[in-house]
Structure 1
Amino acid sequence: MCMIKTLGSRGEDIAADFLEKKGYKIIRRNYKTPLGEADIIVKDNNTIVFVEVKARTSDAFGQPFEAVNYRKQEKFKKIALYYLKHNKIESPVRFDVVSIISQNGKNEVNHIIEAF
């Protein structure tokens, strides 16, 4: 479990760096609510983007982004609504996934814009 947590945290760091280099402004990381957690919240021009990060050490069991199933998408949307409501934000919203395969010292990053 500890190794998985470390991989997840490292994946979020990789994703945050990747997004910043693409010009996104990081608003929050690890935003916790009673409903769950949003890995990264960024701003892309006037759009608030909720980013789910999935990291794996291989694609043996499929691409990391495939783990963001319908149930997780619906939960993530509720977390986003919670954030917007509690911060009194009215803005266009988007849901992205950053999928990372980290193996042999290299990171393959796949940014899926408007993933759901």
Structure 2
Amino acid sequence: MLAKDQLGRRGEATAAAYLQQAGLRIVDRNWRCPAGEIDLVAVDGSTLVIVEVKTRSSDDFGQPLESITAAKLERLYLLASRWARAHSLRFSGFRIDAVGVLDDGSGTPRIEHVRAMI
């Protein structure tokens, strides 16, 4: 496995643990369909939460969440509806969250959680 892939997996695990500690229930990870991939799927009360995780080992090239584009957000909205249809589930609503993880491997990672990205 490439170092970049290992960093990404470690970031997703860190984000999942953080979200669970915040009271969300993780129900799926790395879900794929022809339109793309969802990093984490969670439930917050009766709300479906699609979570994009961005992990970096340093902020030399900017903060992790700066790399989420409008096109990526648009794709995540599409993927949210496809995930719900594929699982035959209904929710009172859904939102797109983002979790940025800055982890250089030497200590506790820095986590930034943005709810309801627009």
Structure 1 and Structure 2 fold alike (TM over 0.5): yes
Q: Find the counterpart in structure 1 of residue 48 from structure 2.
A: 48
Q: Find the counterpart in structure 1 of residue 98 from structure 2.
A: 97
Deviations 1:48-106 (A, max 9, x none): 10000000011111110111101111111111111112222222001000001002322
| Secondary structure, counterpart of 1:77 in structure 2 | helix
Tell me how far apart the structure 2 counterparts of residues 77 and 3 of structure 1 sit (CA, whole Å): 29
- TM-score, with structure 2 as normaliser: 0.93
Tell me how far apart the structure 2 counterparts of residues 68 and 89 of structure 1 sit (CA, whole Å): 27
> Please, what is the CA RMSD of the aligned residues?
1.2
Q: Which amino acid aligns with 2:36?
A: G
Q: Find the counterpart in structure 2 of residue 114 from structure 1.
A: 116
Q: Find the counterpart in structure 1 of residue 84 from structure 2.
A: 84
Map 1:13-24 onto structure 2 (within 5 A).
13-24=13-24
Q: Which runs of 5+ in 2 are unaligned?
A: none
Q: Which runs of 5+ in 1 are unaligned?
A: none
**4+ residue runs over 3 A deviation:** none
- TM-score, with structure 1 as normaliser: 0.94
Q: Find the counterpart in structure 1 of residue 70 from structure 2.
A: 70
More moved, 43-52 vs 78-87: 78-87
Cα shift at 1:6: 0.5
More moved, 80-89 vs 26-35: 80-89
